[in-house]
Amino acid sequence: MSDIRILTEDQLRDRLTLDQAAVDVIENAFATLARGGVVMPPILSMHMPDVNGELDVKTAYVPGLPGFAVKMSPGFFDNPRKGLPSTSGMMVVLSSDTGRVQAVLLDNGYLTDLRTAAAGAVAARHLARSDARRATVFGAGLQARMQLQALRLVRPIDQAVIWARDPDKAATLAQQMTGQGLQVSAQPDPEQAARFGDIIVTTTPATHPILRADWLRPGQHVTAMGSDQAGKNELDPHCLDRADLYVADRIGQTRLMGELRAALEAGIFSGAGDLPELGDIIIGRHPGRTHSDQITIADLTGTGVQDTAIATHALAAFSKDP
């Protein structure tokens, strides 16, 4: 058992940050997914109503990578009352050669935060206008912060606004994020907020739409990353109809738990057969945005291939240690 590497959250936070390398790793994961050969089973989901908890388990096997990750993501929604965050979790990395456990990453959700933010950067890199300077973020949680940081890795963002249900949280985050060439302000009017950004990122746990279709303007790119369960919904279903291009991280997932689900249920969107995935655009199988005035939407629900990619990346970062 001595060959199993155990890494704590502190060790992982010290060594890994949201940087270009992390974005490239996630971009490559989506490309590999598009090229085929990746095995990514449906998410195992367990609901525990009597303790107001849920557990998701994701995994994916990516040919060519030395290991594959199994990620456990619990969400226990009474935790805040106990002074704990709702979500936590960890990953296990198993050898692609033998199935033996290689590493236990006690990241407490940190690697998920990283790979989720990195996916936002990948979506913006391939779908947002190259001259995008203004960002709008819906939500004021951890991903609001990280998505904004992620955008700056791929686009020359120098102004941002934040809308959140709680205006105090939006103001606090705006203040914290301002600096290093970035001006951030809170915007209490969601319509004004929406109209501002060249890129809009929605990062809320909303179960009813917070972004209306008639607020969108030509040239915008929207990344919706809050919805990762069938009950969640951030975009007015008409947004998908309004957009020139809808892109999923994984169609099979967004159909069940992304913005696509809500649009399909509302009967507004019918072209679900031919929709591209983010990887199709990365590898050039789909042209993506073809005009600076187009409206594009990326619907990100989070995939096991991202987890395997970030876990492999993390292990590689420690591979030279004794």
Helix (H, G, I), strand (E, B), or coil: what is residue 291? coil
267: which 2 tokens? 């009967």
Least distance CB 149 / a copy of itself (angstroms) = 24
Would you count residue 231 as binding a copy of itself (CB under 8 A)?
no
Binds a copy of itself by CB under 8 A, chosen from 16, 25, 74, 216: 74
- The token pair at 247 is 């892109």
Counting contacts by CB under 8 A, is residue 44 touching a copy of itself? yes
What is the Cα 167 distance to its own chain's centre?
23
Burial level of 12, CB count in 10 A (0-12/13-18/19+)? Answer: buried
Closer of 6 and 208 to a copy of itself (Cβ):
6
The vertex-38 CA angle with 264 and 254, nearest 5°, equals: 15
Q: Which of 18, 65, 92, 184 binds a copy of itself (CB under 8 A)?
A: 92
Q: Are the CB atoms for 18 and 153 separated by under 8 Å? A: yes
Nearest distance from C-beta of residue 107 to a copy of itself, angstroms: 9
Site for a copy of itself in 3-42 (CB under 8 A): 4, 6, 8-10, 37, 39, 41-42
Name residue 85's amino acid.
Answer: P
Verify binding: residue 82, a copy of itself, rule CB under 8 A. Answer: yes
Beta carbon nearer to a copy of itself, 103 or 127: 103
| 169 token code pair | 């949280």
100 binds a copy of itself (CB under 8 A): yes
**Token pair for 200:** 């809009």
The answer to whether residue 51 forms part of the interface with a copy of itself (CB under 8 A) is: yes
Instruction: Kindly tell me the burial class for residue 165, based on how many C-beta atoms sit within 10 Å of its own C-beta (0-12, 13-18, 19 or more).
Output: middle
Give residue for tokens 């790119």.
221
Cα separation, 315 vs 304, whole angstroms:
17
Q: Which of 23, 25, 89, 110 is the binder for a copy of itself (CB under 8 A)?
A: 89
Position among 13, 21, 66, 101 found at the interface with a copy of itself (CB under 8 A) = 101
Which residue stretch of 97-105, 111-119, 154-162, 312-320 sits at the interface with a copy of itself (rule: CB under 8 A)? 97-105
Would you tell me how many other CB atoms lie within 10 Å of the CB of residue 268? 16
Q: Which of 223, 244, 242 is nearest to 301 (CA)?
A: 223
Contact stretch for a copy of itself (CB under 8 A) within 1-9, 28-36, 237-245, 277-285: 1-9
User: Which of 21, 96, 190, 272 is the binder for a copy of itself (CB under 8 A)?
Assistant: 96
Determine which residue in the list 14, 17, 20, 47 makes contact with a copy of itself, applying CB under 8 A.
47
Q: Are 109 and 73 within 8 A, CB to CB? A: yes
| Dist. CA 220–CA 195, nearest whole Å | 9
Figure out which of the listed residues 5, 19, 31, 55 binds a copy of itself, where binding follows CB under 8 A: 55
Q: Residue 36 CB, nearest distance to a copy of itself (Å)? A: 12
Question: x/- binding map, residues 108-147, to a copy of itself, per CB under 8 A?
Answer: x---------------------------------------
The strand pairing partners of 44, in sequence order, are 57
Torsion of CA 10, 172, 296, 219, to 10 degrees: -130
Interacting residue with a copy of itself among 90, 103, 247, 278 (CB under 8 A): 90
Q: In this structure, what DSSP letter does residue 179 have? A: B
In the complex, the residues that contact a copy of itself under the rule CB under 8 A are: 1, 4, 6, 8-10, 37, 39, 41-48, 50-51, 53, 55, 57, 59-61, 63, 68, 70, 72, 74-76, 79, 82, 84, 87-90, 92, 94, 96-101, 104, 106, 108
